[in-house]
A and B are shown apart, each in its own frame.
Chain A
Amino acid sequence: MATATTPAMKKFLNDPADAVRESLAGLAAAHHDLLRYDADAQIVVRADAPVAGKVALVSGGGSGHEPLHGGFVGRGMLDAACPGEVFTSPVPDQMLAATKAVDGGAGVVHIVKNYTGDVMNFKLAAEDAADEGITVESVLVDDDVAVQDSLYTAGRRGVGATVLLEKIAGAAAESGDDVQRVTALARRVNARARSFGVALSSCTPPAAGKPMFDLPEGEVELGIGIHGEPGRRRERMSSARELAGVMVEAVVSDLQAPPGAQVLTFVNGMGGTPQLELYLLYGEIDRQLREAGLEPVRNLVGSYITSLEMAGASLTVLELDDELASLWDAPVHTPALRWGA
């Protein structure tokens, strides 16, 4: 299914093998006030790290999801990011180097999206860190309701909730909360968030040079993850209203929030869908969530956890409480998210 004839790849690249490194160097050049890029260790670190006495947040995963994670390094969010090759988990050496670079003596939290490779590599890194006397707590993100039967799968994937979790846990750490509290808050965000994604097109990793799957004209993939992997099922393209309905139904039925619950609505672009469509989709989703008895009181609309240039969108709904809402509102200053600072 991946061998369709494809047009030649047109991307802003030099050598495709250098794409990740050159992009990170560019990120650092643009935001040297916020972060630095250690090319030897292949990590992105907050400019003022380590912050003494502050719990440090480290995340990482394959590249191709920008601005996740490097774009979320800065005040009020991540202390370090470990970017792997495109759609490939980073290696334990990177995670250990990041952990040591940001450890301010108050403990380090690893934020791990639930993918087999990410989980294994972070596990090996946490063991290495423990050997060096650094306390590491790991928080697993697994919010994707498209993966239904976890007995027969690797479990739900970590997708949109990762962004919300990194923001909220980052605010807690910035405010001086201890490692147990930051970890508990992060787990609360994951427990109360659900996501579902839809692809309108495939995407082309630079090193592969051709699309990851072949999506015929007039069809959409429902229940996609963030690595260009095909979704759960394929259907005819339909209206934004109908697609919003599929996303809302999948998320709301699984979240099972009480009637009247206040929620944060995150409508995320997969990389190739313009803001015009994302806001159109948001309008539909906001209306349908209200019809379903929920009250959207916060939102985030834009491309924050992507699959290269894939056209498509995901919906994440987070059930809020006062504490989570206030941590969401707290100042943040990173390349990709900035308010109040």
Chain B
Amino acid sequence: MITEPIVRASTITVWLTQAGADVRARGDYLTQLDAAIGDGDHGINMTRGFDAVDKALAGQGDGVLPGRLLILAGKTLVSTVGGASGPLWGSALRRAGRALGDVEQFDGPQLALALDAAIDAIVELGAAAPGDKTMVDALVPASRALHAELDAGSSLDQALAAAAQAALEGAEATVPMQARKGRASYLGERSIGHQDPGATSAAIILAALARSVGESG
């Protein structure tokens, strides 16, 4: 019998801190991807947002519910990132937080539902579909992999590792796509041949989630 890792508020804090550190470390890379098909500031904007999230989380005492932490982080991103990434990631985290409600800890299936709620928020606000060369192209395969692994009886660690891998592959699969949403879409066919920066940062953030749950489980 595998002891199933349980996700707690502390896991959320570890995840968001780790995600911020990874986004910061890969900031130049994200900005480079964005310079090719966008306006060259994705790494800068996401770093600004996660810097603010770090500060907001540092002000939270023990006993805060995980859902509340996600809502706080989402609000912080909306208020600091700007561009499209701010509203999209902000709405995603807020919706995930609301989906978790007042639970103090949760398991894999609940995490999968929270991820789906986040994706729903992104799709509603951004109206992007798979294949449009956006963050959705990383997140939807990740959700699919997470559900499939959990349904097959994998541990949450394994399921999240598979989800992170699917997100990474999804991001890489945006290279041959022609962008249909966001600033890259203005380039038409010239957007082909470049990896989408939004899908790439999504994969980085999901990889941080897999690592954080693995460590704290």
Contact = CB atoms under 8 A, between A and B. Distances in A.
Q: Do A and B come from one complex?
A: yes
Interface stretch (B81-89, B147-155, B158-166): B81-89
B185 interface: yes
A85 B86 CA distance: 13
A320 to B, nearest CB: 28
B183 A212 contact: no
Interface string A114-148: 01110011011000000000000000000000110
A318 interface: no
Contact of A90 (B32, B36, B82, B125): B82
Interface in B52-95: 78-88
Interface stretch (B38-46, B96-104, B167-175): B38-46
B32 A89 contact: no
Nearest to A213: B35
Which of B44, B82, B187: most chain A CB closer than 10 A? B82
Given A120-B125, A154-B181, A89 B84 contact: yes
A154 B79 contact: no
B79 A91 contact: yes
Contacts of B188: 149, 152-153, 232
Interface string A62-90: 10000000000000000000001111111
Contact of A208 (B31, B36, B185): B31
A84 B40 CA distance: 15
Nearest to A152: B180
B183 A229 contact: yes
B178 interface: yes
B129 to A, nearest CB: 12
B78 A157 contact: no
A225 interface: yes
A91 B39 CA distance: 17
Interface of B: 31-32, 35-36, 38-41, 44-45, 48, 78-88, 125-126, 178, 180-183, 185-188, 190
Interface of A: 1-3, 62, 84-93, 115-117, 120-121, 123-124, 146-147, 149, 152-154, 157, 205, 207-208, 212-213, 225, 227-230, 232
A90 B181 CA distance: 19
A230 B183 CA distance: 10
B40 A154 contact: no
Contacts of A205: 40-41
B161 to A, nearest CB: 32
B81 A91 contact: yes
B183 A116 contact: yes
Nearest to B188: A232
Contacts of A117: 82-87
B17 to A, nearest CB: 22
Which of A86, A88, A92: most chain B CB closer than 10 A? A88
B178 A227 contact: no
Given A116-B84, A121-B82, A228-B39, 19 more contacts: A2-B32, A3-B32, A3-B35, A87-B41, A117-B84, A120-B88, A121-B86, A146-B186, A152-B188, A154-B182, A154-B185, A157-B186, A205-B41, A208-B44, A212-B40, A213-B35, A225-B186, A230-B187, A230-B190
B88 to A, nearest CB: 7
